[in-house]
Amino acid sequence: MRTLSDGRIRRSEAEWREIFARYEKSGLSELAFCRRSKIARKTFRAWRRRLAAPPRRPAKPRAAFVEWAPPFVPRAAEGSSQAGSAFELELPGGVVLRWKA
C-alpha cells in the first residue's frame, strides 16, 4: 500500500486480492466491510469487476496495404508460346488473385 501526497492510497493487484479474500471470510456485507476497512465502496467495486473480468486477448494486427508489382515480362511476339502468360498471388485465407499479362 502506498499513500500519495494528497492522502489517497494506492494498492497493488496482489493487495486487492488479499482484501477480497478477507472480505469473503468476514461474512460482512460489502458496505459494512468497506466501512470497517476504510475503503471507498466505489473503488472496492471497480477492483472487484477488474479482477473478475476475463483476461484480455492481444489485439489482432491490423491489415496493412502492401503494394505489389508483377515482375516485368517482355511482350512476346504474336503466336509465341509465352503469349497469354499469367501471374498468381495467393493470400492467406485461400484467396488467389490472377493477372493476365
For residue range 51-93, what is the model confidence (pLDDT) as tens digits? 988 877 887 777 777 776 766 656 655 555 555 567 788 888 8
Q: Which of 3-12, 36-45, 48-57 has the highest mean pLDDT?
A: 36-45
Compute the distance between CA of residue 79 and CA of residue 87 in angstroms, rounded to an integer. 20
Q: Which of 62, 53, 46 is nearest to 11 (CA)?
A: 46
Measured in degrees and rounded to the nearest 5, phi and psi for residue 51 equal -80, -25
At residue 84, the pLDDT reads 59
At residue 42, the pLDDT reads 95
- Going from N- to C-terminal start, the domains of the chain cover 2-52
Complete DSSP assignment for 64-101: ------PPP-PPPPTT-TTTT-EEEEEPTTS-EEEEE-
At residue 29, the pLDDT reads 94
Please identify which residue in the block is written with the cell numbers 493487484: 13
Instruction: Compute how many other C-beta atoms are within 10 angstroms of the C-beta atom of residue 33.
Output: 19
